[in-house]
Structure 1
Amino acid sequence: MKWIYVCYALLAGALLPIQAGVNLRLRGSLGDPIWAATVSFGVGTLALLAYGLITRSPLPTLTMVGTAPAWAWIGGCFGAFFVFSTIVLAGQLGAATMMAWLLAGQFLAALILDHFGLITFDVRMISWQRILGVILLVAGALMVNKY
């Protein structure tokens, strides 16, 4: 059962550089990465709204909305920054180098989030094996960047 989620993660990860390339092309048409990211988020919002309506996913109540802590509302800002950043970085670094550094940054942050159980993650202590894995990822990013 867990392999289904691993395959899902691989697919989602594979779509990130494709999304960056599509948004880079959109930037070329619209002339600015801010507008390309805005259009990308707008289309994504419409797609999620349509999916929610088609699947008849229940709308959250105002009570449910009110239970979210204030910091939980900034996730969209992080997503917007990420999409904007990939539009800028894709043109400057290329898909492979951009993704290598994005992954290295994601893993470094993920180790800290897991170790301290921050923002609702379960505690998963840093081990030498996990540190080695991140070191290998950073080494891979350096190699992809150089070659």
Structure 2
Amino acid sequence: MTYLSLLAFVAGGAITIQAMMNAQLGQLLKNALLATSIAFASSLVFMLLGFAVFNKQWPQREVIQSVPHYLWFSGGLLSAFAVAGFYWLIPKMGIGPMMSYALTGQLLLAIIAGHFGWFQSSIIPISPLKLIGAGALVLGIILINHG
């Protein structure tokens, strides 16, 4: 396992922990959308601090202007939908089932997106072995949640 794999593994664990904590916040506040707003506001503070500390330079104006308009807000919209969905679903489904279905959706879409190179991602063709792995993943999720 490379250090990048280990970092990805730890980041995945962090997603699970923050999802549980913020779902609890949503339950206590009786409002998953407010919990999501608080999570994003605190994330903004920490990211701005990180940017201030670690950023070496700002992008050139031409670079900023060349970014397609949809990229400025679509990621945030999808993040808000996903995170609010997590915080709303966790108390209803439990962390294990919710994360297992979410992870399955992420992995299956990642396989398709990688195959077609969506959003300038590296093209990684779908192979028969990947299809078997995806099938095993779906079967595993079914067994974990209904076995």
Q: TM-score, normalised by structure 2?
A: 0.92
Alignment partner, residue 111 of structure 2: 111
Distance in 2 separating the partners of 1:145 and 1:89: 15
AA of the residue aligned to 1:79: S
The count of residues paired between Structure 1 and Structure 2 equals 146
The corresponding residue for 1:25 is 24
Q: CA deviation at 1:75?
A: 0.8
Task: Please state whether the residue corresponding to 2:58 is helix, strand or coil.
Answer: coil
CA deviations on 1:13-34 (whole Å, 9 max, x unpaired) are 1111111111111112322111
Q: Tell me which residue corresponds to 2:86.
A: 86
| Aligned twin of 1:71 | 70
**Pair 1:60–1:30, CA change in 2 (3 A):** farther
CA-based RMSD of the aligned residues comes to 1.5
Structure 1 runs, 4 residues or longer, greater than 3 Å off = none
How many Å apart are 1:144 and its aligned residue?
1.8
Q: What are the equivalent positions in structure 2 for 1:1-147 lying under 5 Å apart?
A: 3-73=2-72, 74-147=74-147
User: Structure 2: which 5+ runs fail to align?
Assistant: none
Aligned-pair CA distance for 1:103: 1.1
User: What CA distance in whole angstroms lies between the structure 1 residues aligned with 2:26 and 2:84?
Assistant: 10
Taking only the aligned residue pairs, the percentage that are identical comes to 27
Q: Provide the C-alpha distance between the structure 2 equivalents of 1:119 and 1:56, rounded to a whole number of angstroms.
A: 24
Gaps of 5+ in 1: none
Equivalents in 1 of 2:108, 2:140: separation in Å? 14
Q: Which amino acid aligns with 2:109?
A: A
Deviation of 1:6 (Å):
0.2
Q: Deviations over 1:17-69 (max 9, x none)?
A: 11111111111232211111011000001000011112244233433221111
TM-score normalized with structure 1 length: 0.92
